[in-house]
Amino acid sequence: MHSIPNIAVPTIAIEGSDARFPVRRIFCVGQNYADHAREMGSDPDRAPPFFFTKPADAVVANGAVLPFPPRTDNLHHEVELVVALASGGSDLSPDEAVQAVFGWTVGIDLTRRDLQAEAKKAGRPWDMAKGFDHSAPTGSLLRGTPPAKGAIRLSVDGEQRQSGDLSEMIWTVPEIIATLSTFVVLAPGDLIFTGTPSGVGPIRKGQVVEAVIEGAAPLTLSFAT
C-alpha cells in the first residue's frame, strides 16, 4: 500500500526577499491585445474577456533549461504581464481588485499551437495546448500595483519577435480581476496572465527566449536540443 504523498506547493521568487510566493492557481486571459486578436483571426472589439487555466506547477524560474514539450511541432511564445494576488473574493469592483494585488512580473504563456488549432477545429478544450508541464515561465515578483503602461517585448536568439505596450491591453488589470471574480472566488496565491501582444511565433529546440517588461528584470529560458 502506498503512503500518502507529500506534495510541495509551487512557488515563485520575490524581488529583494528570500521569501517565495506560493502559487495556488493560474488563470490566463485570451486575446487581450487588439493586434494579437487580429493575428489569431478574431474581432478585437471589446468583447468580454475569456479565461483558461494552467496548473500551478507549470511555473518555471528564470534561467531554466527546459525539455522541449512532447506532442507538438509548433511550440509558440506569448509574453505577458503576470499579476499575483494577496487576497481574493467574488464580485469584486475594479477598485477592490486593485487592493487584492500582491505584485507583478513578466511571464511567458507557452502554447502548443498545433494542438490548440486541432482543439478549436473540433470544439474541444485547450487544456493540452496550454496547460502542459513547464508551460508558465514566470519572473521574480515586484511588490505593488502593476504599471498601466510600459514596453513589453520578447526575443528569440536575440531577434525581437514581440513588441508592444501595456497600455494597449483591451481590458485593464483591475477589469480583468473584477471580471474573473464573477466566475470564481479568487484567493491569495492566484496568478493571472493578462494576455500577449502580436508577434507570437515558433520556438525551436536549442533556442534562447528572453521576455522583458519595462521596470522588471528580464525572464530568460532556453530549450534543450
Q: How far apart are CA 48 and CA 29, in angstroms?
A: 10
Contact predicate 49/17, CB 8 Å: no
- Which pLDDT value is given to residue 15? 97
Q: Mean pLDDT for each consecutive 10-residue tract of the chain (225 residues)?
A: 94 97 97 75 74 98 98 98 98 98 98 97 96 98 98 98 96 97 98 96 98 97 96
For the chain, give every domain's residue range.
11-223
- Which pLDDT value is given to residue 40? 65
- Which pLDDT value is given to residue 41? 63
Q: What is the DSSP letter of 150?
A: -
Q: Could you tell me the CATH superfamily of domain 11-223?
A: Fumarylacetoacetase-like, C-terminal domain (3.90.850.10)
Q: Which three cell numbers, joined as nine digits, stand for 124?
A: 474541444
- Which pLDDT value is given to residue 34? 77
- Which pLDDT value is given to residue 36? 63
Total-model pTM: 0.95
Cβ neighbours of residue 72 under 8 Å, at least 6 residues apart? 112, 113, 114, 115
